[in-house]
Copies of this chain bind each other. A is one copy, B any other.
Amino acid sequence: MATGRTHRPATRSRGIPEATVARLPLYLRALTALSERSVPTVSSEELAAAAGVNSAKLRKDFSYLGSYGTRGVGYDVEYLVYQISRELGLTQDWPVVIVGIGNLGAALANYGGFASRGFRVAALIDADPGMAGKPVAGIPVQHTDELEKIIQDDGVSIGVIATPAGAAQQVCDRLVAAGVTSILNFAPTVLNVPEGVDVRKVDLSIELQILAFHEQRKAGEEAGAGADGAVPPVAARKQPHSTDQGPDGDVPAVMPA
């Protein structure tokens, strides 16, 4: 990295904290469910429970968006849905390309929550010529050769990489060169991208390893902390209490640039 204070040149204006941004979709989902049940208002307490956070955090989060609640009453569901959608940029339509149509790519293409909230699958792309033309989730798969054209024609700025790890960086480079500035990466690789391109990473194996860490903790809380491994017979004893209460894990998910 460069010499000194090169980082984040103070884009500090009306910044919503990242931690808050990461929770807004959670609130939005809970609110959408309430909206569908025609619930007119919610208290921070109720909504927080539905979203799986605590109410103080939720109120603090909302305070960054503005004062959208009514004291003594709560929040108007419809109004909040709209405000959060707006804040997240979901009032506009985001065309998305998915590259790599294996099982995972197909799963993503079929994913319902996709089409609903502002996202539209603009194209499915795969390197296998045999896939070309085959419809997945009702959309015909196109060959990688078309990638640049699709992105430019459709004004795609979000790309999803669901290729094998070996192909990911190359695909990423092509996406970025063609104009994509946000990438959701499912391949287990670190992607190198230029400044200004956001990458989020979803990695099954990392999640499992984090779980394994905690699982091991539980098992060895005071059992023999012996050294050598090779002891498969777990026999999963239930642990009735385990003090572990507040650890909101987190993940180094966004790699900036």
Contacts and interface: CB of A to CB of B under 8 A. Distances in A.
A105 to B, nearest CB: 8
A213 B252 contact: no
Nearest to A23: B252
Given A22-B206, A92-B229, A236-B181, A215 B103 contact: no
Interface in A1-29: 1, 6-9, 11, 18-19, 21-26, 28-29
B113 A188 contact: yes
Nearest to A206: B25
A224 to B, nearest CB: 14
Contacts of A251: 22, 250-251, 253
A234 B120 CA distance: 12
A211 B233 CA distance: 42
A256 B248 contact: yes
B204 A113 contact: yes
A250 B19 contact: yes
**Copies of the chain in the assembly:** 2
A66 interface: no
A231 B238 CA distance: 53
Given A25-B205, A242-B195, A213 B249 contact: no
Contacts of A209: 24-25, 28, 88, 90, 117-118
A241 B195 contact: yes
Interface string A101-118: 011101110110110011
A86 B18 contact: no
A252 B26 contact: yes
A127 interface: no
A253 B91 CA distance: 26
B92 A190 contact: no
A132 interface: no
A246 to B, nearest CB: 4
A101 to B, nearest CB: 10
B96 A208 contact: yes
Interface stretch (A34-42, A50-58, A71-79): A50-58
A60 interface: no
Interface of A: 1, 6-9, 11, 18-19, 21-26, 28-30, 50-54, 82, 86-96, 102-104, 106-108, 110-111, 113-114, 117-119, 151-152, 155-158, 160, 179-184, 188, 190, 195-196, 198, 200, 202-216, 218, 229-257
